[in-house]
């Protein structure tokens, strides 16, 4: 008499590999925003075509042509225009390409201070998610950045699914980058 699951892969042991990866959209904040600008490491999925295979951006040319490669198969090279990648539908998601995720590495990005309490500061990183708060102790914030509506330049890993994993570094105050470079925060305090 054999044991249950003996002929299954790894003898029936449970595997996390079949579970979907955690996403920045988890937690009730909605889908991550479609990017305003294209940068290396962003991953997209085409919305039309016979064989819709995801791509990752490798480089953005001065002429607006984006060089990318496919994420599956032999990793074929793909060329697409940046205007086609950033095109949006009325709901704010991609029109021709759906944004999937960032590559796991640090990116130069912006944050805005939305609340300052006695012990912590709440930031929003619009490129990561415009509605998700990021809490930082006041001691990690620059002195001149402890005011609401203050913009910061920083480096963070935008590929993570939780605010505690962003690991913001090199925070410094800066001017508002503008809508052509960075979206606006949509965070609302819970009453």
In this predicted model, what pLDDT tens digit does every residue of 23-48 receive, in sequence order? 666 666 777 788 989 999 999 999 98
Supply the CATH number for residue 118's domain. 2.40.50
* Region for 85 from its dihedrals, namely left if φ exceeds 0, alpha if ψ lies in -120 to 50, beta otherwise: alpha
pLDDT at 96 > cutoff 90:
yes
Residue 84's H or E segment, with its range, is: helix 82-86
pLDDT at 71 > cutoff 80:
yes
Distance of alpha carbon 43 from alpha carbon 34, whole angstroms: 11
Q: Are 157 and 12 in contact (CB under 8 A)?
A: no
pLDDT at 8 > cutoff 90:
no
pLDDT in tens, 143-177: 888 888 999 999 999 988 888 899 999 999 999 99
Residues 88 and 51 in one domain: yes
Residues 126 and 155 in one domain: yes
In a domain, 20, yes or no: no
Q: Which domain holds residue 47?
A: 43-101
pTM of the model: 0.79
pLDDT category at 18 given cuts 50, 70, 90 is low
Q: Which residue has better confidence, 169 or 49?
A: 169
How many domains is the chain built from? 2
| Nearest alpha carbon to residue 177 among 110, 121, 105, 113 | 110
In a domain, 184, yes or no: no
Residues 61 and 118 in one domain: no
């Amino acid at each position: 008499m054999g044991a249950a699951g003996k002929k299954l892969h790894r003898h029936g042991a449970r595997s996390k590999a079949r579970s979907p990866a955690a996403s920045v959209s988890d937690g009730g904040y909605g889908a991550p925003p479609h990017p305003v600008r294209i940068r290396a490491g962003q991953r997209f999925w085409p919305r039309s075509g016979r064989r819709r295979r995801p791509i990752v951006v490798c480089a953005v040319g001065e002429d607006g042509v984006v060089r990318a490669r496919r994420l599956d198969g032999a990793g074929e090279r793909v060329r697409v225009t940046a205007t086609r990648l950033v095109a949006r539908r009325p709901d704010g998601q991609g029109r021709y390409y759906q944004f999937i995720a960032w590559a796991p590495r640090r990116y130069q990005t912006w944050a805005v201070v939305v609340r300052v309490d006695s012990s912590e500061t709440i930031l929003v990183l619009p490129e990561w998610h415009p509605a998700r708060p990021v809490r930082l102790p006041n001691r990690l914030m620059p002195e001149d950045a402890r005011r609401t509506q203050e913009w910061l330049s920083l480096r963070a890993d935008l590929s993570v699914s939780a605010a505690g994993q962003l690991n913001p570094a090199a925070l410094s105050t800066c001017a508002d980058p503008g809508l052509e470079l960075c979206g606006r925060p949509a965070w609302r305090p819970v009453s």
